[in-house]
């Protein structure tokens, strides 16, 4: 039985899973899970890299205790856009800034004075957003030039963690495609963009081929956790690319939804779509495990509900999923809507107050009970996904026959059913641990146990359970949608 370890770090939680491959079936077993949030230092938000490394070590120790010192591979995937700065001495200069830090917002107009926003989109295929790596680097090097002088290598987040485990310095294609610094034509760093925006050459590490062994664990790590020398594999570094790799679609036109704190909605395309409409509607083109692209839109996910529940917990009201479901059913449908992607919901001090303010400004009924907040969020998310999928059909000139949702967010069955209702399309959900599964499949390709992605998706299909949702109450949801689009 072949075993590999998938390290899957999300923006709200991290996990290590052991993937056991035997007789063309894959079994995933959770080794270790931990909560993950940015830490505040001064007026900024950072990721605690020492914490990440310690939790990875804790997971590896649990593996060794149960299975021994031998494992066939380790792969790491994370959320997009964030990165670390490495010195000449191969030291991490400081903890990486977290994408939710607001220091980048003022950099958009300054960067666009040097290179036009639409030109950026045409060259990179990526929608401009304050969280993107290009604006983060511009903000950091503008406000802290001493860091620019000390930086000898820039590593995107999964590659940073691989470097700390192996000493190897490189970047990976799918994660690089989220930076807005990668040229969509040659799939390499765009020197013309960097020359226009930055005062000196950006020392971005080279991009190495995905699905390959790129190094081995350091001896100091092996001694600390009890492992033997272990291959570290360049899996798709972006968790959405990993999730997509795990999803066996019914049709090439099926829309994927990778669901969690964010929900990424898109379709696979051979070539990036960089039309005027794609630009105006805020679509983006990011890499896949097979070096093609995902035409997608990055949408708010369950972050809204997560933040409300944290508020209520601070007030002493912990709400289980079962209680959440009861509260939603008790609230009247379609009383008020929000645009989930409005900037006021990006990182407010109190999410409930932000929702109430939006409803007040748009002259709607203001939610007051927990059930009203929950229903407002889930309905609004589902209706926004309809808006996105309608535009995907326009951009690709193809009718979407079905939707495939995967990731932790599919545990919210109301979100799945409401998405089917709002979009008027059948929905298939699963697997939950999609990113970890795609991570493992990439490793098994790299070490030769699986031949290619066709076989990998067959393995995923026979190994993991899926659930089907049929659209319901179509006329009611259609009326709701036509009311909803007034607020976006």
Q: Strand pairing partners for 213?
A: 233
Q: Is 239 annotated as catalytic?
A: yes
Bond preceding residue 32 cis, omega within 30 of 0: no
- Nearest to residue 141, comparing CAs of 199, 192, 92, 182? 199
Task: Sort strands 39-41 and 44-46 into parallel, antiparallel or unpaired.
Answer: antiparallel
Burial 73-83 (b: 16+ CB within 10 A, else e): bbbbbbbbbbb
Cβ count near 11 (within 10 Å) = 21
- Residue pair 151/84 in contact (Cβ under 8 Å)? The answer is no
- Reading the block at residue 315, the tokens are 């007030």
Q: Which of 77, 239, 339, 341 is catalytic?
A: 239
State the DSSP code for 97.
B
Q: Do residues 244 and 259 make contact, with C-beta atoms less than 8 angstroms apart? A: no
Segment 205-209 long-range contacts (CB within 8 Å, at least 24 positions apart): 205/153, 205/154, 205/155, 205/159, 205/169, 205/170, 205/171, 206/170, 206/171, 207/170, 207/171, 207/172, 207/173, 207/176, 207/182, 208/170, 208/171, 208/172, 208/234, 209/173, 209/234
Element (H, E) at 186: none
Cα 178 → chain centroid? 10
The residues annotated with a catalytic role in the active site are 239
């Amino acid at each position: 039985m072949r075993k590999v370890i998938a390290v899957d770090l999300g923006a709200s939680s991290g996990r290590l899973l052991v993937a056991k491959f035997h007789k063309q079936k894959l079994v995933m077993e959770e080794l270790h899970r931990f909560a993950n949030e940015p830490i505040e230092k001064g007026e900024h938000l950072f990721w605690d890299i020492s914490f990440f490394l310690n939790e990875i070590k804790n997971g590896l120790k649990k593996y060794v205790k149960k299975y021994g010192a031998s494992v066939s591979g380790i792969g790491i995937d994370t959320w997009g856009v964030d990165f670390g700065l490495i010195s000449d001495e191969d030291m991490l200069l400081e903890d990486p800034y977290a994408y939710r830090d607001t220091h980048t917002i003022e950099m958009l107009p300054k960067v666009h004075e040097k290179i036009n926003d639409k030109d950026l989109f045409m060259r990179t295929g990526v929608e401009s957003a304050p969280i993107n790596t290009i604006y983060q680097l511009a903000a950091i090097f503008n406000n802290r030039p001493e860091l620019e002088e000390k930086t000898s290598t820039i590593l995107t987040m999964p590659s940073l963690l691989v470097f700390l485990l192996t000493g190897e310095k490189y970047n990976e294609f799918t994660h690089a495609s989220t930076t807005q610094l990668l040229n969509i034509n040659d799939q390499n760093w765009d020197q013309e963009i960097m020359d226009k925006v930055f005062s000196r050459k950006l020392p971005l590490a080279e991009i190495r081929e995905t699905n390959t062994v790129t190094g081995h664990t350091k001896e100091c790590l092996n001694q600390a956790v009890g492992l033997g020398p272990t291959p570290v594999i360049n899996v798709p570094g972006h968790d959405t690319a990993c999730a997509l790799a795990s999803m066996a679609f019914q049709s090439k036109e099926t829309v994927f939804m990778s669901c969690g704190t964010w929900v990424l909605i898109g379709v696979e395309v051979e070539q990036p779509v960089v039309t005027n409409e794609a630009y105006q509607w805020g679509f983006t083109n990011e890499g896949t495990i097979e070096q093609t692209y995902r035409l997608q839109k990055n949408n708010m996910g369950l972050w809204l509900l997560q933040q409300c529940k944290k508020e209520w917990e601070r007030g002493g009201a912990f709400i289980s999923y079962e209680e959440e479901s009861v509260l939603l059913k008790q609230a009247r449908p379609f009383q008020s809507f929000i645009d989930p992607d409005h900037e006021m919901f990006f990182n407010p001090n109190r999410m409930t107050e932000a929702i109430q303010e939006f409803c007040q400004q748009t002259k709607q009924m203001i939610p007051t009970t927990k059930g009203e907040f929950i229903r407002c969020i889930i309905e609004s998310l589902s209706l926004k996904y309809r808006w996105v999928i309608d535009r995907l059909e326009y951009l690709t000139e193809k009718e979407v026959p079905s939707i495939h949702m995967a990731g932790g967010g599919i545990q919210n069955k109301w979100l799945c059913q409401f998405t089917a209702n709002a979009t008027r399309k059948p929905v298939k959900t699963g697997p939950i641990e999609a990113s970890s599964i795609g991570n493992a499949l990439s490793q098994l390709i790299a070490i030769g146990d699986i031949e290619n992605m066709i076989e990998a998706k067959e393995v995923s299909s026979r190994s993991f359970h899926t659930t089907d949702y049929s659209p319901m109450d179509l006329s009611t949801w259609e009326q709701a949608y036509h009311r909803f689009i007034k607020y976006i």
